[in-house]
Each structure stands twice: as structure tokens, then as C-alpha cells.
Amino acid sequence: MAPLGMTNLARKLRLTDYFTFSFGAMVGVGWLVLMDDWLGRGGPLGAVLGFALGGAVLFPIGYVYGRLVIAYPDASGEVAYTAAVFSPWASYATGWMMLLAYAIVCPWEAVAIGRLASYIFPALNSHELYRISGQPVFLPHVLLGLVLTGLLLVLNYRGIRWSATFQNVTTFGLLLLVGIFGAAGVAHGSAGNCSPLFSAAPLVSILLVLQIVPYFMTGFEAVSKAAEESHPDFPTRDYMRAPLMAIAVGIFFYTGVIAIVSWAQPWQSFVHEKFSTAVALERAVGAHWVVNLVMAAALLSLMKCFNANFVAASRLLFAMGRRGIVPGGLGRVHPAYRTPGTAVLTIGCGTAVAMLLGPALLVGITEVGSLAAAFGWMMACAAYAAMKRARERVVGVIGAVIAALLVLMKIAPVVPGHFTLNEYIVLVLWILLGLAFHRRPAASR
């Protein structure tokens, strides 16, 4: 089934590219900058089990996405799937929420590069511009974020092959460096460092970690946003393999890093340290070179996550513009580079503006991004269930139920770590912005 109003995007991508985009969109720098939060929530075993269980329940959703991409190779992803069986408003709402899930990662990574660089070069924490919620925003941080945003904007504007090559190099570079410092951590640690295994009661510890997993595992479905850019001889079955591979490797990555760090040093001794992953490994190895290795891996991880979510957000926005449900100019294709040039520029400019909010406000927005992703998964699985019969319908129902539970974990007041007033304000503002952006397709007027 051809995408609605097929445009001539460049067709360059193969299985490796789809895997690195999907895995890259999932794994950023949380394993470095938030390890203290993960261990504080669950303890070593609670965090490992939280990510393992949270990742494992996504396999039915990954399967559904694979099947849907094969049937609808459309860059609008969830918009196309839900439009086939639900109302136009339900379709638009699903796409608008998924756009937030991808787009918010971009300014977050642009902010994070300044925090990473300042850990190695403390002099970058100078020339304070202003404060938001008590947290300073420094000029060097802003400049670094703008430079990285500009680099990725150029890569994505010039061509998907440029972006895919960048994605492959950063992804496999990350995995290589993690393997090296992971081996060093294991060699210098011991099992006794993992005690106590849980930060609180086992079930509560696992639950507190489980509810943040959707945000850190969002991205396996990014394959759908680049479905129109596959190589002409691309086997359609590989649309199924890419998200399942990304989920599997993502589980292994997150649980592996948590286990390595907990093994390297007594976890309670660094749970309140900034960049606790680097701190724990440096103390275990007794040499600063391991910190440089961790920071190099984090930089690669940051860039690939930023790039993958930039690709997903720009393609989704482009496809929504092509459908006429947001301003139609966003659906234009660059005549020479065959990229969604206008959408790429829009995401780039939006990222540059949003990063000026600094880390204080972006934290709340990322919480809403986690709910947005789970909502998109739920709607895609529900659409799949509505399309299918018998056994195939069951898989869609299971996926929809799992995603619905992930949504409830963020909004149900009885669940620890549910939304605060700030998160609800962000959600309402995003919905209002979506109403302002929405356009009725010409065919329905």
C-alpha cells in the first residue's frame, strides 16, 4: 500500500540503518546522567528487573509495529494506522502526541551536551545568562547545543544517507566503548557491592523503575517514520526485524550498564553523585582514563539519540503536512536532496528555541513525552486489533492493554511517581498547541 500522496524521498536505507535509527532513538545519555535516580528508585536488582520487564512487555508492541509498517509503509506512522479504522480526530491526536515524544528529545539532548562537556571542562560553567526554576543557563552550554543542533540540521537537510552513516558510526562506536569500560568495571568490582539489591520493598522498587521505562525505550517504533526511505530492493520482512532487534539490544544495554555500575562500586556510595556511572567506574578502576572513555561513549550516545529522534520527528511532521492535517508547507520535499526540507528546518528551529528553557523545565516535558509515546503505542495496537481477526487480533489487544497500563502509571494518583501539576500543565499546553496547528484536509472540507 503506497503512502498517501507518495513523494519522492530518497530511498537509501537498509536493515542496519533501520536498527541503528531505532536503537539510537531509544538510548541517549540517561545511563550516565540518571544512573543515580535509577538506583535510588530500585536498587541494583530492582533497576535491572524494572528495565528487563519494562522492555520485555514491549515485544508484542514491536511485533505490531513491524506488521503495520509492512502493510502501511508511510512516514506518518501512527497517523496512517489509526486513520484506517478510527476517526480523523483520533488519528490526528495520535500523531500529535507521538510528535511530542520524538521532538522533546531533541532539545533535551542539546541541553545535555553542555552538561557533559562541563564535567570535563568546568570552565564551561561560566557566563550565566539567566535562571529558570533556580537552575542557571550558561552561555557556553547554549552555544554547544546550538552548534550540535545546526550540525544535525545540515546532515538531515542534505540527505538521509548522510544521516544514516552518522547514525551507524555513532551507534557502533558507543557499543564498542561500553564493551571496553564495562569489562574494566567487572574486573575491578565484586558482587558484594550490589547489596542491598533493592532500595525499598521489592515490588515498589521494581514499579518505580518500570514506570520510567517507556521514556527510555521510546524509539524502537522509529522505523515506521523512515519507511518511505528504504532501498528499492529492501526485504519487507526486515521492517519487522528492526524494531524487535532494537528492543532486545536496548534491554541488554540498559540492564548491562546498571549491573556493571552496581558491581563496580557499592551503589549507595555514589547514588547522589553527578554522573554516577563515571564516578563509580573511576573509583573501581582507580584511573581517570575510564572517565574519558565513559564521556566519549556518552557523547556518541547523545549524538545518535539526537539524530534518530530528529529524523523521526521531522518525517512525522512532514507526513502530517503532506496529509494536510497541519500546514501543508511542512509536506514539501527538497527538489535536489529529496529530503523533507521544510519539516527538517522546523524541527531544527524548534529545538534551538526549546533548549533555551534549560534542564529545569525540560524535565517535566520529558515526563509528558513518556506518556505521549505510550499513548501512541496504545492507539497503534488498537488499530491493528481492529484490522485483524482471531489470533492476530489477540496480539494487538495485548499490546494495547500493555500500553494503556503504561499510560495509567503516569496519570493514576495511586501510583508512586504519577504526574504532578506541572506535567498536567505541559500536557494541556501541548494539546492546545495541537488544536491551533490542526488543519482539515481539503478532501474533507
DSSP string across 349-381? HHHHHHGGGHHHHHHHHHHHHHHHHHHHHHHHH
Per-residue tens of pLDDT for the chain, all 445 residues = 445 555 578 899 999 999 999 999 999 888 998 898 899 989 999 999 999 999 999 999 999 999 999 999 999 999 999 999 999 999 999 999 999 999 988 998 898 888 888 888 889 999 989 888 778 889 999 999 999 999 999 999 999 999 999 999 999 999 999 999 999 999 999 999 999 999 888 998 998 888 778 778 888 999 999 999 999 999 999 999 999 999 999 999 999 999 999 999 999 888 888 888 999 999 999 988 999 999 999 999 999 999 999 999 999 999 999 999 999 899 999 988 899 999 999 999 999 998 888 777 666 666 788 889 999 999 999 999 999 776 788 999 999 999 998 888 888 877 766 778 878 888 898 999 999 989 887 554 4
Residue 2 counted as domain residue: no
- Give the three-class secondary structure for 130: strand
Residue 3: CB partners within 8 Å, gap ≥ 6?
72, 73, 74, 75, 76, 80, 227, 228, 319
Residue 10 counted as domain residue: no
Instruction: Write down the pLDDT at residue 445.
Output: 42
Residue 119 counted as domain residue: yes
Instruction: Write down the pLDDT at residue 100.
Output: 92
Q: How far apart are CA 319 and CA 379, in angstroms?
A: 18
Distance set, CA 40 to CA 32, 233, 262, 346 (Å)? 14, 48, 12, 38
Instruction: Write down the pLDDT at residue 417.
Output: 64
Contact 173, 304 (CB under 8 A): no
The β-bridge relationship of strands 135-138 and 128-132 is antiparallel
Instruction: Write down the pLDDT at residue 443.
Output: 53
- Give the three-class secondary structure for 131: strand
Residue 412 counted as domain residue: yes
CATH number for position 80: 1.20.1740.10
Instruction: Write down the pLDDT at residue 73.
Output: 92
Instruction: Write down the pLDDT at residue 412.
Output: 80
Q: Count how many Cα atoms sit within 13 Å of the Cα of residue 405 in the half-sphere of its side chain.
A: 13
C-alpha cell at position 237 = 520482512
Instruction: Write down the pLDDT at residue 2.
Output: 42
Using the structure block, give the residue that is written with the C-alpha cell 541541553.
111
Residue 66 counted as domain residue: yes
Contact 366, 125 (CB under 8 A): no
Contact 53, 69 (CB under 8 A): no
pTM of the predicted structure, to 2 decimals: 0.91
Residue 8 counted as domain residue: no
C-alpha cell at position 338 = 529529496
In 188-237, which residue ranges form alpha helices assigned H by DSSP? 202-210, 213-217
C-alpha R_g of the chain:
21
Q: pLDDT, tens digit, for every residue of 307-328?
A: 999 999 999 999 999 999 999 8
Using the structure block, give the residue that is written with the C-alpha cell 503504561.
406
- Specify the number of domains making up the chain: 1
Residue 302: CB partners within 8 Å, gap ≥ 6?
28, 29, 109, 112, 113, 116
Q: pLDDT, tens digit, for every residue of 105-162?
A: 899 889 888 888 888 888 999 998 988 877 888 999 999 999 999 999 999 999 999 9
Residue 185: CB partners within 8 Å, gap ≥ 6?
260, 261, 263, 264, 280, 281, 284, 285, 290
ω before 73 within 30° of 0 (cis)?
A: no
Which amino acid would we find at residue 361?
A: L
Residue 344 counted as domain residue: yes
Residue 224 counted as domain residue: yes
Residue 184's domain spans which residues? Answer: 15-444
Contact 171, 22 (CB under 8 A): no
Instruction: Write down the pLDDT at residue 1.
Output: 41
